[in-house]
Amino acid sequence: MATLEDWTLWLHIAAGAIAVLAGVVALGTTKGGRRHRRVGRLFVYSMGVVVITVVGLAAIAPTRRRVVLTLVAIFSGYFAFSGYRVLARKRPTTDAAAPDRIATGTVFVACLGLALWGLRQYIAGTTFGIVMVVFGAIGVVFTVLDAREFRRDGATEWRVTHLQRMIAAFIATVSAVSAVNLTPVIGIAAWLWPTAVGAPLIAYWSATVESR
């Protein structure tokens, strides 16, 4: 008989698969179009389910791997949340709401903790600490950037911010899927290759959008 943990895991896997597929479709559709908006919402909602279910799995059986995956899920879920919320702040008269600031502060603390934990693991001789430091550092940088954006007029920068956050969320989701399935084959590279491939693409697309 299936347990609560089994049902939570299946829901987590299903939501992750939907998020990956929705992310692929969103990247391939006309930006701003009806299909893009609908698929984008599906991606954000799926990421919400991913975060909730992975937290549930960590609460049921708090292994180190699940705790790390939880922090990574929070990290990727925040990117999706941030990328979605920036659309509501693209008008000059609209300021960041309390949920934006709370989410940014919470994820900053979580990512800082992840980076410091990873540094401690690496010093102790655990190579996986590198992965934790990389993801934690990326999260810290982006949350600091978001906090700075709260003080600025978002009317001109929202396109770049939306692009960066949504693609970063997609990359983090692919990283988690890759880690679960490919770590036994290629080790910590399973966690890092999506970032190595995706980061230059984010930089290129951001520069393209800014030049328009």
Tell me the per-residue pLDDT of 69-123, one tens digit each, with 9 for 90 and over: 887 888 888 889 888 888 776 655 455 677 788 888 988 998 999 899 999 999 9
Checking if the pLDDT of 179 tops 90, the result is no
Query: Which residue segment(s) compose the domain that 137 sits in?
Result: 4-210
| pTM for this predicted structure | 0.82
62: tokens are 């708090």
Between the alpha carbon of residue 140 and those of residues 22, 27, 109, 145, the distances in Å are 26, 25, 8, 9
Q: What pLDDT is recorded for position 103?
A: 86
Residue type, 111: C
Q: Could you give the number of structural domains in the chain?
A: 1
Q: What pLDDT is recorded for position 89?
A: 64
Q: What pLDDT is recorded for position 145?
A: 84
CA–CA separation, 102 and 87 (whole Å) = 18
Checking if the pLDDT of 180 tops 90, the result is no
The b-or-e profile of 5-15 (16+ CB within 10 A means b, else e) is eeebbebbeeb
Q: What percent of the chain has pLDDT over 90?
A: 29
Contact status, residue 51 vs residue 74, Cβ threshold 8 Å: yes
Question: Which of 60, 65, 57, 69 is closest to 11 using CA atoms?
Answer: 57
